[in-house]
Amino acid sequence: MELTKDEEAALKGESGETLQLAYRILVATGEATDAEKLVPIKWAHVSGVNYNTIGDAGEEFLSHLSKNAKVKVQTTVNPMGYDIDNVSNYNLDEEFIKKQESIRKSYEKMGTIPSFSCIPYEIFDLPEKDTQVSFAETNAAIYVNSISNLKTNKESAFSALASALTGKSPYSDLRKDLDSPNLTIRMKLDNPNELDLGMLGFFAGKIADSSVRISGVNKMDRRSCKSLCGGMGTSGRCGKFILDDKDADSEKVDFDKEEMKKIYDELNTTDSSDLITLGSPQLGLEELSDLTSMLKGKSFKKRCMIFCPRAIQNQALKLGYTKELERAGCEILSDCCTCLTPLIDKKNVDGVTTNSIKGAYYLKNSNGVDVNLKPLSKIVEEETK
Amino acid sequence: MTLKIIVKGKAKGKIMKSNNPINFLGAVDKKTGIIRDNKHDMFQKSVKDVILVFPHGIGSSVGAYTIYSLKSNGSAPAAMICTKADLSVVSGCALANIPFILVSQDDYDSLTDGDEVTIDTEAEKIL
């Protein structure tokens, strides 16, 4: 990879330890993806904010880094471990809160926007088409590449952080206009709901390379789009999909009932649950509005945790959704998400019902709880009175 | 063997080879290095001190922190060898100074599970 004189000097450490570290990461990721140079980016979205995922090593790394580091471009951050307004309702120890607060402060010191959201594309104004950005959170990287016409690598927590500190990122394939995926997935199911599309994403992620074409899917609503992106990000390294019904010259694989059942059987591990979670990715305003309408005159028979960004929760409060949702038995949480939450523990919870494929994978593998998968319509139909 | 060296260094250890990609955040315990995904072919094995050979990383962008944590906790692989680059694995190895090498599919196929090898990225060799 070709570096400018300034980049070369920074890599050697002439601009300080922080930038040397950042360039070391950018050069490694650039070399690994055959990028010929670094390009400027306008917006970084970093992951690695939740103490539950990054642990003591991550907390100490950020605390040290933030002493001398400042972000150079608009930088938003992923969810953390809890909502400070209601954390006392959950059984979380003091140590966790202390470490999480340290992480929050480290990011604040570096100049990031305290968004604590995995759906930055839904709560911030988007830059113009083809703008280069650097998004770590996998659902967000796939979403902005595929739906919002922005360009990002499927960044990692460290590569997006390095982009935030330098304003640059390797010019790898996903940043270029190379819209010719070598694989087409033919969706064979009619009228799929968001759960079906999440499973399609999970299936596609498993077999696709860095991008994939999907045929047989017409317009998706936002819920379905987010579900597909979340599923795809969980199972693979694919960072972009293109919806296209043209008969492309590429390998073709069908996603039919049989394939869907395999994914369902892999992720659905129980038929019963004592908790419902909605949100992974976090819910946006349309989804809260929909849910409010669906729950009219009904209430949940078991606990239901809803995760959304704080900005959305503030709007929902003003619009009266919060009151309605709480009446129906929902616990609404900001700044955190189902995915890798420390608030769901196998000591207290046996099974979780959710419509999130991403949530299902991590609930099972990280939290160790069983998962019951259902689309939202069925959750409302079967789990309310 | 043609090696594409991404993170330099020297390492010695036993090859632990998997046919499945790895989602470090979901599948690997960051303290012990033990694979906890019961669907993975390396379930219950530890990645500590091995030359970890696997197709590529998948999933969460936070997997990079898992790799960094493994190193901090003394449970990291001695080196990693993949056929494809995933930015979580690459950046995690770069930050943690774990030698990371990309190889062709043919060279990947020639690496045998359990073999004792020495890696020297300066000499561009796996012996």
Q: What is the mean pLDDT of the segment spanning A109-126?
A: 98
B60 is catalytic: yes
For chain A, percent of residues with pLDDT exceeding 90: 95
Give the count of beta carbons closer than 10 Å to the beta carbon of residue A134: 31
For chain A, percent of residues with pLDDT exceeding 70: 100
Q: Are A7 and A15 in contact (CB under 8 A)?
A: no
* pLDDT tens digit sequence for A52-110: 999 999 999 999 999 999 999 999 999 999 999 999 999 899 999 999 999 999 999 99
What torsion, rounded to 10 degrees, do the Cα atoms A241, A74, A65, A156 define?
A: 0
The gap from C-alpha B76 to its chain's centroid, in whole angstroms, comes to 9
pLDDT reported for residue B125: 81
B79, containing H or E segment: strand B79-82
Q: What is the mean pLDDT of chain A?
A: 96
List the strands of the sheet with A43-46, edge to edge.
A74-77, A43-46, A134-135
Going by the DSSP 8-state scheme, the letter that residue A282 receives in this structure is: P
Which alpha helices (H) appear in A66-148, and where do they start and end? 94-109, 120-123, 138-146
CATH 3.30.70.1710 fits A5-175, yes or no: no
* Contact check, Cβ <8 Å, B69/A233: no
Looking at the structure of chain B, the number of domains it has is 1
B/e letters for B41-63, b = 16+ CB within 10 Å, e = fewer, are ebeeebbbbbbbbbbbbbbbbbb
Q: Are A325 and A332 in contact (CB under 8 A)?
A: yes
| Per-residue confidence band for B8, with pLDDT thresholds at 50, 70 and 90 | very high
Q: What is the mean pLDDT of the segment spanning A358-366?
A: 94
| Per-residue confidence band for A143, with pLDDT thresholds at 50, 70 and 90 | very high
pLDDT reported for residue B25: 93
A23, containing H or E segment: helix A17-32
Q: What is the mean pLDDT of chain B?
A: 95
Give me the catalytic one of B46, B60, B61, B91.
Answer: B60
Going by the DSSP 8-state scheme, the letter that residue B19 receives in this structure is: S
pLDDT reported for residue A214: 96
Please check the confidence at residue A315 and state whether its pLDDT lies above 90: yes
Say if strands B100-103 and B116-120 run parallel, antiparallel, or are unpaired: unpaired
Residues facing A277 on adjacent strands: A305, A354
Q: Are B22 and B54 in contact (CB under 8 A)?
A: yes
pLDDT reported for residue A219: 85
Q: What is the mean pLDDT of the segment spanning A276-296?
A: 97
* Contact check, Cβ <8 Å, A53/B25: yes
Please check the confidence at residue A179 and state whether its pLDDT lies above 90: no
CATH number, domain containing residue B99: 3.50.30.10
Residue B109: domain span: 3-126
Residues facing A39 on adjacent strands: A169
- Which region among A49-63, A109-123, A365-379, B113-127 has the lowest average model confidence (pLDDT)? B113-127
* Contact check, Cβ <8 Å, B61/A340: no
Asked, colleague to colleague, whether A5-175 and A268-383 share their fold, the answer is yes
pLDDT reported for residue A178: 72
The structure tokens listed for A89 are: 């309702």
List the strands of the sheet with A370-373, edge to edge.
A330-334, A303-308, A275-278, A351-354, A370-373
Separation in Å, CA of B125 to nearest CA in chain A: 18
Which residue, B121, B125, B122, B117, is CA-closest to B12? B117
pLDDT reported for residue B126: 82
Going by the DSSP 8-state scheme, the letter that residue B88 receives in this structure is: H
| Per-residue confidence band for B122, with pLDDT thresholds at 50, 70 and 90 | confident
Grouping H, G, I as helix, E, B as strand and the rest as coil, residue B3 is strand
Which residue, A122, A127, A103, A121, is CA-closest to A52? A103
pTM of the model: 0.97
Residues of B with Cβ-Cβ distance to A48 under 8 angstroms: 61-62, 64-65
pLDDT reported for residue A368: 92
Please check the confidence at residue A156 and state whether its pLDDT lies above 90: yes
Residues of A with Cβ-Cβ distance to B102 under 8 angstroms: 32
Q: Are A160 and A134 in contact (CB under 8 A)?
A: yes
Is B69 in the A-facing interface, judged by CB distances under 8 Å? yes
pLDDT reported for residue A297: 96
User: Could you tell me the residue ranges of all domains in chain A?
Assistant: 5-175, 183-265, 268-383
Residues of B with Cβ-Cβ distance to A153 under 8 angstroms: 87
Q: What is the mean pLDDT of the segment spanning B69-79?
A: 98
pLDDT reported for residue A344: 95
Q: Which of B27, B39, B72 sits opposite A57 (nearest CB)?
A: B72
Cis before residue A375, ω within 30 degrees of 0? no
Superfamily of domain A268-383 in CATH is Aconitase, domain 3 (3.30.499.10)
